[in-house]
Amino acid sequence: MPKPLIADCLADLSGTAHGFFTRRGGVSREGYASLNCGLGSKDAPAAVHENRARVAAFLGAGGLITAHQVHGATAVVAEEGWHHWHRPRADAIVTATPGLAAAVLTADCAPVLFADPAARIVAAAHAGWRGALSGVLEATLSTMEALGAHRGRVRAAVGPCIGQAAYEVGPEFEEAFLGQDAANRRFFSRPGPEGAPHFDLAGYCEQRLVQAGVGSVRTLAACTYARGDEFFSYRRSRAQNEADYGRQISAIVLT
């Protein structure tokens, strides 16, 4: 069975269950081994459905949903489950429905899980650099508040994503962040005077959450690129000239 990573800021909340699931504990084979939860991959659909069922069972969820992620800043409210073919185009799911696990798929982008334990509202967001820059985390909080949450009570955890040492980017990437806020320079480093910039995605997401007024924020620092034994990675797959790659899942549910 899966053994996900657990965030301490969410672990002590009664009435919720969550997990940042790794690639371990599933039935997929070869390059998808073993807990590939991405139905958009070229893995056998039956294996992916079994893997997602194992995640739901681990969480005690009656249903588990993901969106058609588009690297944007749209958050949707889920009152009930939907079929994979009818999933909305969005990068965050907010729900107040017990038993319905809100989940996101990642393979280097940052998964972020949210909970307001008093309002009984949870959410999952997919924060790639485009989504994070354009405000997907703030959109998630606003959508939670529309259901009755208060961001000062919200606890949020940023899950495993590509680490700064592995995340080399181009100058136009850096310019986009500096153009929005010159203080974003702190999230870029260079290995040498002539080196390309490297971006700290987890740190940037954490800072956006803090600035948005989230009550408690934690970051799980594991690098998806460096830890091939534990995580799928789009960039690592491309570097190794692989035809496709798996996706890990991160989910939260009201129990």
Provide CB contacts within 8 A for 226, sequence distance 6+.
Answer: 163, 165, 166
Burial of 121 (0-12, 13-18, 19+ CB in 10 A): buried
The answer to whether position 173 is within a domain reads: no
Please tell me the distance from the alpha carbon of residue 89 to that of residue 76, in angstroms, as a whole number: 9
Beta carbons of 78 and 92 less than 8 angstroms apart: no
The candidate with the shortest Cα–Cα distance to 158, out of 118, 128, 120, 190, is 128
The residues with which 68 forms a beta bridge, in sequence order, are: 89
Please tell me the distance from the alpha carbon of residue 75 to that of residue 143, in angstroms, as a whole number: 7
Please tell me the distance from the alpha carbon of residue 18 to that of residue 250, in angstroms, as a whole number: 8
Domain with 224 in it:
8-163+200-254
The answer to whether position 169 is within a domain reads: no
User: Cis link prior to 142 (omega < 30° from 0)?
Assistant: no
Beta carbons of 28 and 35 less than 8 angstroms apart: yes
Q: Collapse the DSSP code of 57 into the 3-class scheme (helix H, G, I; strand E, B; otherwise coil) and give the result.
A: helix
How would you write the pLDDT of the chain (255 residues) with one tens digit per residue? 899 999 999 999 999 999 999 999 999 999 999 999 999 999 999 999 999 999 999 999 999 999 999 999 999 999 999 999 999 999 999 999 999 999 999 999 999 999 999 999 999 999 999 999 999 999 999 999 999 999 999 999 999 999 999 999 999 999 999 999 999 999 999 988 889 999 999 999 999 999 999 999 999 989 999 999 999 999 999 999 999 999 999 999 999
- Two structure tokens written together for 232: 């799928």
Count: domains in the chain: 1
- Which residue in this structure is represented by tokens 């909970």? 115
pLDDT score at 192? 85
Please tell me the distance from the alpha carbon of residue 152 to that of residue 200, in angstroms, as a whole number: 25
The answer to whether position 119 is within a domain reads: yes
pLDDT score at 194? 86
Specify the CATH number for the domain of residue 82. Answer: 3.60.140.10
The answer to whether position 20 is within a domain reads: yes
Interstrand relation of 188-189 and 110-116 (parallel, antiparallel or unpaired): unpaired
The candidate with the shortest Cα–Cα distance to 140, out of 24, 252, 248, is 252
Beta carbons of 108 and 68 less than 8 angstroms apart: no
The answer to whether position 177 is within a domain reads: no
Q: What sign for the dihedral angle of Cα 240, 129, 232, 68?
A: negative
pLDDT score at 251? 99
pTM over 0.85: yes
The answer to whether position 207 is within a domain reads: yes
The candidate with the shortest Cα–Cα distance to 42, out of 242, 251, 250, is 242
pLDDT score at 159? 98
The answer to whether position 106 is within a domain reads: yes
pLDDT score at 171? 94
